[in-house]
Amino acid sequence: MRTFAILANLVLGGAALGLAATPAMAQEGDTDRAGDIQFKVFGTAVLPDGKITDINVNLPGLPATTQTRASDNFVPTIAVEYYLNGNVSIETIAGVTQHDVDATAGLPVGAELVSDALLLPATVTAKYHFDLDGVKPYVGGGVAYFIWLKDDPGAATLPLGVTDTDLSDEFGFALQAGFDVPLGDDGFGLSFDAKRYFIDTTARWYVGNTLAIETEHKLDPWVLSAGVTYRF
């Protein structure tokens, strides 16, 4: 995960340099490109945190030092982008990603607490684009709503009598940076994108109808993507 975070910081830093280096280029948008649509097909690395920030309910008496981490995942995603003009666009992404949550401290390391949690990270961002001799860096930000489509009790919780697990859907926001590289004049290109989300979730474990454990988790994933594009 550290390698991916370094890569993401490089992408964010490169886009910021592009912003600083191109004030003249950014003064006017290509108004003739207003209404363009760009499709992107990505391979995406989803690198969440999953750290416990608070324990609200603890009937089994888990150690106060209990700590967790959510697993990384690599998935295909699709982005659709609408250009208001040559510089400003609105983008949304489509995809789902699956994660487990395992103990890293306080319990045996690797003990599975949540299994096969399936996440739909609904996201809409506004982006500002620059032009560096054909390479088009951008920066942006927007809102996100994390929807958990599925979450099962982890194997380590079953001996405690846990029958159900629930991760709360939550709103948050995202920062974004990256760059597009057109390939010729036919609308095709390459794209590299980094997003950092700021969002939490509340995890609840039930024994029958009794809430046995409730914890607050910091997710804040890096989402790093690379792929091909088509703009028309």
Prediction pTM value: 0.83
Report the greatest alpha carbon distance in the chain: 64
Positive or negative, the CA dihedral 154, 160, 162, 167 is negative
Beta bridge partners of residue 205, listed in sequence order: 165, 213
Mean pLDDT of 40-53: 96
Compute the CA torsion angle 103, 105, 109, 115 (nearest 10 deg): 0
| Burial grade of 180 (CB within 10 A; 0-12, 13-18, 19 or more) | buried
Please determine, for residue 25, whether its predicted confidence score (pLDDT) is greater than 70. no
Q: Enumerate domains of the chain plus CATH numbers.
A: 2-231 (2.40.160.20)
pLDDT band at 32 (very low <50, low <70, confident <90, very high): low
Quick: pLDDT tens for 97-131: 999 999 999 999 999 999 999 999 999 999 999 98
**DSSP letters spanning 33-58:** GTT-EEEEEEEEEEE---EEEEEEEE
Beta bridge partners of residue 222, listed in sequence order: 47, 196
Residue of 106, 93, 104 whose CA lies nearest to 146: 93
Coil/strand/helix, residue 106: coil
Coil/strand/helix, residue 20: helix
